Amino acid sequence: MGFLHCVLSEWPFLRIRLLRTRLGVWLLLLLVVVLRLDGTAAVSDPLAAVLLIAGAGATLCVAYLAGARADRVTLGPALLHPRSPGALTVGRWLAATGGAALPVLAAAVHAGAGVAVAGLVTAATMSAWALALAWSGGNVLVGAWLIWLALTGGQSPEAMLAHPHPGALRFGIAGALEILPGLWRYRGLASLEVGAVVHAVLWLSIGLVIARSRVRRAGEAP
Amino acid sequence: MTSVIQVRGVRRVFSRGWGRPGAVAVAEVTFEIGAGEVVCLVGAAGSGKTTLLRLVAGTLRPSAGIVRIAGATGHSDPRRSVGFAARDPAFPPGFTVREVLVYCASAHACGRERDAQVRDALEATGLSDRATHRVARLPLADGRRLLVAQCLLGGRRILVLDEPFAGLDVVTRRDLSDRLQRLVVTGGSVLLSSADPVGLERLADRVLVLRAGRLVVDAPATALLGGRVLEVVLDVPPREAPPGFRLTATGLEADLGGRTAESALAVCRAHRLRVRASRVRLKTLDEATHDAAEVAPR
């Protein structure tokens, strides 16, 4: 079968995990909690809320669709049928992005098309990156990434270095915020800022390439 | 008989890195498997059985030599012709039996053709009544059946099965064995491995014995199974076995070959051994393969 057909065959993972695991509940909780916090804040920032939902939602979806040990063990057997590692990777990435898109679109209903697009692109980038983490180190890395997102949120490197004596730790965190996929940077996606778009596309590609190489290795494992 | 699998001088070396010499898992193995043939690959743990199966299934590339499937060249995808079942069942959690098969079949076909393949695979492996069961709750026997069902998807008639009977009880073994025989009758071919060949007599047409990555025996199962064994229970087992005998826990044992049981027992009496009881039985496949591997040159 063709590449596209094999990509689409990964979609049942989303349906099954949404309905038969706690993924659906977690996504709903994420949506409600973030919107509630945004609603009670002194200054409402729908874009930040949507981006946080996109990032955390994509990471959660990857954890439930691909990060568990039992899921990683089945990567090799999946390649015993004529499907390519690339098709499997793209299919699972699209499924995770699709799962994250549900709360993103729900949150962006009243925020405008620009915010929705920023949320969807952020979800796509974050799920590709989380997929690379999941197939490199399992849900331990995915969980660490989720904690990183929760702690740093939409903070920018400049805000991190605003302290009079930043110290090595703050410099390190600021460096990571500058390089890694970051919610602060993807605010620019809402206004189609070139730097944000390039950064998102670059990390999306890096994530997919790493994930694909991990799948290929799983298929060759002795 | 048309050969569906041709393995010629296949060698596989696993790199150990840092310039150290690689580990030779399979060395210069050559054999053929014909259509409608069941070949059993036996050998001790670590003898290279799984590596050889993976080479045949195309999930590993040989370091040297050629694996040819049903006359195809090296450029065609062997996964379209060969179904490979790994030793340990591993299925996506949360899926049902049918969903696992639909997922796997999606790589071969779509729409009605895919559904027909799934239905046929469920029927052929006796899983039709378990189609809606979650795979996480399947007993081992059904897990192994599901592995075989996956191999049948896409109309594949060459099955490569790694330890398909490991951990199964006698009844389930027999059932799975019968289902594989039914497949073979309709033109399929099976290459299966087993660390324990007990009970494979009914299934195997040919037996390959691997030792340290080398093929030391390639013989029809009937040739290996033809032998008779004399078991002798003694009042006092001797310290050394008489010529042609070997010591056992209760006495002695000998391959009769062309001799009669009486002539063999006469040897015991000549050595003044007090025979309490004796019986003649047919050699089992595990004995035959063990003996064949022992006499083969190292």
Statement: residue B265 has pLDDT above 60: yes
User: Å from B97 to nearest chain A CA?
Assistant: 13
CA atoms within 13 A on the CB side of B296: 19
Which residues in chain A touch residue B84, judged by CB atoms under 8 angstroms apart?
80
- For residue B198, what pLDDT is reported? 75
| Most B CBs within 10 Å, among A79, A80, A84, A139, to test the B interface | A80
Range A159-188 average pLDDT:
91
Range A58-82 average pLDDT:
95
Phi-psi region of B198 (alpha: psi -120 to 50; beta: other; left: phi over 0): beta
Tens digits of residue pLDDT in B152-175 = 999 999 999 999 998 888 899 999
- For residue B296, what pLDDT is reported? 60
User: Å from A71 to nearest chain B CA?
Assistant: 6
- For B93, which of A71, A219, A222 is closest by C-beta distance? A71
- Mean pLDDT check: name the lowest of A74-88, A171-185, B15-29: B15-29
**Cα separation, B260 vs B230, whole angstroms:** 9
Statement: residue A88 has pLDDT above 90: yes
Are B96 and B135 contacting, i.e. CB atoms less than 8 angstroms apart?
yes
Tens digits of residue pLDDT in B43-56 = 888 889 999 999 99
Range A154-171 average pLDDT:
87
Average pLDDT in chain B: 88
Which residues in chain A touch residue B87, judged by CB atoms under 8 angstroms apart?
none
Phi-psi region of B33 (alpha: psi -120 to 50; beta: other; left: phi over 0): beta
Range B114-131 average pLDDT:
95
Is A81–B154 a contact, with Cβ atoms under 8 angstroms apart?
yes
Range A127-150 average pLDDT:
97
Which residues in chain B touch residue A20, judged by CB atoms under 8 angstroms apart?
94
- For residue B94, what pLDDT is reported? 93
Which has more pLDDT, B16 or B167?
B167
Range A45-50 average pLDDT:
94
Average pLDDT in chain A: 94
- For residue A154, what pLDDT is reported? 84
User: Å from A6 to nearest chain B CA?
Assistant: 6
- For residue A199, what pLDDT is reported? 97
For chain A, what percent of residues have pLDDT higher than 90? 85
- Tell me the residues of A at the B interface, defined by beta carbons under 8 Å apart: 1, 5-6, 8-9, 12-13, 16-17, 20-21, 68, 70-71, 73-74, 76-83, 219-220, 222
Question: Which token pair is B216?
Answer: 């030391």
Which residues in chain A touch residue B83, judged by CB atoms under 8 angstroms apart?
80
User: Å from B61 to nearest chain A CA?
Assistant: 9
Range A98-105 average pLDDT:
97
Range B226-253 average pLDDT:
87
Full strand arrangement of the beta sheet holding B3-14: B23-34, B3-14, B64-69
Statement: residue A143 has pLDDT above 60: yes
**Cα separation, A84 vs A79, whole angstroms:** 7
- For residue A41, what pLDDT is reported? 86
Is A71–B150 a contact, with Cβ atoms under 8 angstroms apart?
no
- For residue B297, what pLDDT is reported? 56
Whether ipTM > 0.85 holds is yes
Statement: residue B287 has pLDDT above 80: no
Question: Which token pair is A25?
Answer: 């509940």
Statement: residue A163 has pLDDT above 60: yes
> What is the residue type of B262?
E
- Mean pLDDT check: name the lowest of B18-27, B106-115, B247-256: B18-27
- For residue B134, what pLDDT is reported? 96
- Mean pLDDT check: name the lowest of B83-87, B199-203, B242-246: B199-203
Statement: residue A219 has pLDDT above 80: yes
Range B198-225 average pLDDT:
85
Tens digits of residue pLDDT in B143-154 = 999 999 999 999
Q: Which of A43-47, A93-97, B110-114 ranks highest by mean pLDDT?
A: A93-97
**Cα separation, B157 vs B161, whole angstroms:** 12
Q: Phi/psi of residue B86, each to 5°?
A: -75, 170
- For B104, which of A13, A71, A81 is closest by C-beta distance? A81
The length of chain B is 298
Statement: residue B73 has pLDDT above 60: no
**Cα separation, A160 vs A178, whole angstroms:** 11
- For A68, which of B93, B95, B110 is closest by C-beta distance? B93
What residue in B sits closest to A78 (Cα-Cα)?
B104
| Most B CBs within 10 Å, among A13, A74, A81, A84, to test the B interface | A81
Q: Which of A53-67, B188-202, B263-277 ranks highest by mean pLDDT?
A: A53-67
Which residues in chain A touch residue B104, judged by CB atoms under 8 angstroms apart?
78, 81
Statement: residue B284 has pLDDT above 90: no
Statement: residue B298 has pLDDT above 60: no
Q: What's the pTM?
A: 0.86
* Banded pLDDT at B1 (limits 50, 70, 90): low
What residue in A sits closest to B77 (Cα-Cα)?
A82
Which residues in chain A touch residue B14, judged by CB atoms under 8 angstroms apart?
222
